Structure 1
Amino acid sequence: MKGGAYPAFALTAFQSRLAYRNQVWASAFGELVVSYAFIAIWSAAFAGRVVADGATLPQMITYVMVAGLLYWNTDRLINDVGDAVRTGDITIFLLKPLNYPASLLATHFGHYVFDQLVVTLPVFVIIGLTVGLLPPASMFHALVFIPYWALSWLMLFTLAALCGLLAFWLLTVFALEWFLKGIMALASGAIVPLWFMPGWLAGILGYLPFAWVSYYPSAIYLGKLDPSSAFLHFGIGAAWLAALLSFLLWLWSQARQRLTVQGG
């Protein structure tokens, strides 16, 4: 297994996006419209109130933008796996000294970096200049936010890759895209923070892996967790990630066996 090949996957993915400039402009404009729409919704929800459930309107606007920074479109990843299974291109990876999940991680990290630099960052700056965004609650929360951000990306990648690998058994990924989107819309806290949810529901969702994609990193940024809680929840999220990565590798081994048996 040649580890030096994986950075090449990331670089190739990044460079391939440069060829589609019109798509980049359209994505940035769409992201900007969606951001202003969420800001308008939360502004109307506060309706002149200064504080709601311990959060202010500036905090909610910042929360929406940080959550948007963390949550990335997983359709490309799921469709890549689905197309590889449908066309049979997945067999190529059985002939190479490469780990397929690792190559997926490298490739979509390249896509993610491109989207962050070319689409998300400009939108973030425009919203900051026109509406205003809060800085991290403290230096501690700013520093802790960085590993939470990495954990968030790896968690969402693993969840999307697991959905994609199910194409080996379902032979389609269309329903899987909507399945993951539906779960993430409710359970990740990307749209509505857990502190606005009923206590029993927030208690359940707060210990599922989806919450580490958007809610906990955004809550850290805003200072909603003290240092002890921040370290505790990071440890729980890391344990979830380790378990899901192990399951992903096991599922890939089962998919390889299924592919080998069907292909003779």
Structure 2
Amino acid sequence: MKVSAYPAFTVTAFLSRLVYRNQVWSGVFGELVATFAFIAVWTAAFSGSRNVDGVTLPDMVTYVLIAGPLLNWNTTRYIREVGDSIRNGDVTVFLLKPLHYPALLFFNQLGNNAFEQLTITLPVAVIVALTVGLLPPASPAHGLLFLAFWAVSWCMLFLIATLTGLLAFWLLTAFSLEWFLRGIMALASGAVVPLWFMPGALAALLGHLPFAWVSYYPSAVYLGKLDAPTSGVYLLIGLSWLAALAALAGWLWSRARHRLVVQGG
């Protein structure tokens, strides 16, 4: 199948989500509750302090929105769909078609994520901005760099989730895998606690793992916690991680295809 045909899967995935409108309202409500809960926690933590280690409460309010719903999208639906297709054998349908399954997953998830960003994350951001307030990018340069980091963040989380989902070929279930990834992401990506508040040794370790490029580094760049040259270096490192994870995903899929044939034969 030609590459130009894959965007049709993005459009289809986006339009299919329009059918389940009640999920949008529940998604907005759930995201609002989670976001304001984190804001309340950080407001209490900053009580009586204007800043902690150079970080202010407005910084943390903005960080909560960026590192949470904007960047760290919920992988539960995606991983479970991959796991279910493997468990019930639907994945074999894709092997009979002239397409690349990981590429199909990429463009399909792109449509799902675009829908959630427009219908859930955007309304939540507007409500938070009007009620609590959000900071703009530290500078125009940081704003542009953030857009690049946003793209890296999405691709990084997609590849991590895809690698997790493909393991279902061996475990025949994705439920436990999804819970495992959620726990890892909560700690290692900086979505719950920024790396700048973690012990030095732990922050240094997590700062070199690919998870940090999902939430922490994009948020830090947006807030100006990293200067432009340093941000550029970390962007290159993130791209290197993307290349390594993409190669690993390709290798794992090639092994998974052979394993599927053995199971069916």
- TM-score normalised by structure 2 residue count: 0.98
Alignment of 1:53 with 2:53, yes or no, is yes
Q: Structure 1 segments of 4 or more deviating over 6 A?
A: none
Letter in 2 for 1:79: R
Aligned mates of 2:171, 2:258 — CA distance in 1? 16
Aligned to 1:134: 135
Stretch moving more, 38-47 or 5-14: 5-14
Deviation at 1:3, TM superposition (A): 1.6
Aligned to 1:104: 105
Aligned mates of 1:94, 1:177 — CA distance in 2? 24
Residue deviations 1:117-149, cap 9 Å, x none?
Answer: 010001101100110000000000000000100
Letter in 1 for 2:178: E
Aligned mates of 1:37, 1:56 — CA distance in 2? 18
Aligned to 1:226: 227
Aligned to 1:89: 90
Letter in 1 for 2:24: V
Structure 1: gaps of 5 or more residues: none
Q: Write out aligned runs for 1:97-176 (5 A).
A: 97-176=98-177
Aligned to 2:178: 177
Alignment of 1:212 with 2:209, yes or no, is no
Alignment of 1:42 with 2:48, yes or no, is no
Deviation at 1:184, TM superposition (A): 0.3
Aligned mates of 1:230, 1:170 — CA distance in 2? 39
Q: Write out aligned runs for 1:232-247 (5 A).
A: 232-247=233-248
Residue deviations 1:5-63, cap 9 Å, x none?
Answer: 31111111101111111111010011111111111000000112001011000001001
> Sequence identity, in percent?
66
Letter in 2 for 1:33: V
Once superposed, what is the RMSD of the aligned Cα atoms?
Answer: 0.7
Aligned mates of 2:122, 2:44 — CA distance in 1? 26
3-state SS in 2 of match to 1:73: coil
3-state SS in 1 of match to 2:6: helix
Aligned mates of 2:177, 2:6 — CA distance in 1? 26
Aligned mates of 1:186, 1:262 — CA distance in 2? 36
Q: Write out aligned runs for 1:194-209 (5 A).
A: 194-209=195-210
3-state SS in 2 of match to 1:4: helix
3-state SS in 2 of match to 1:225: coil
Aligned mates of 1:54, 1:248 — CA distance in 2? 39
Aligned mates of 1:263, 1:4 — CA distance in 2? 32
Letter in 2 for 1:174: F
Letter in 2 for 1:175: S
Aligned to 1:6: 6
Alignment of 1:30 with 2:17, yes or no, is no
Aligned mates of 1:22, 1:263 — CA distance in 2? 39
Letter in 2 for 1:232: V
Aligned mates of 1:185, 1:92 — CA distance in 2? 34
Deviation at 1:80, TM superposition (A): 1.3
Deviation at 1:77, TM superposition (A): 1.3
Letter in 1 for 2:170: W
Deviation at 1:262, TM superposition (A): 2.3
Letter in 2 for 1:75: T
Aligned mates of 1:102, 1:196 — CA distance in 2? 37
Aligned mates of 1:8, 1:76 — CA distance in 2? 20
Deviation at 1:227, TM superposition (A): 1.4
Q: Write out aligned runs for 1:65-76 (5 A).
A: 65-68=65-68, 69-76=70-77
- TM-score normalised by structure 1 residue count: 0.99
Letter in 2 for 1:100: Y
Letter in 2 for 1:51: N
Aligned mates of 1:235, 1:202 — CA distance in 2? 19
Deviation at 1:261, TM superposition (A): 2.2
Letter in 2 for 1:56: T
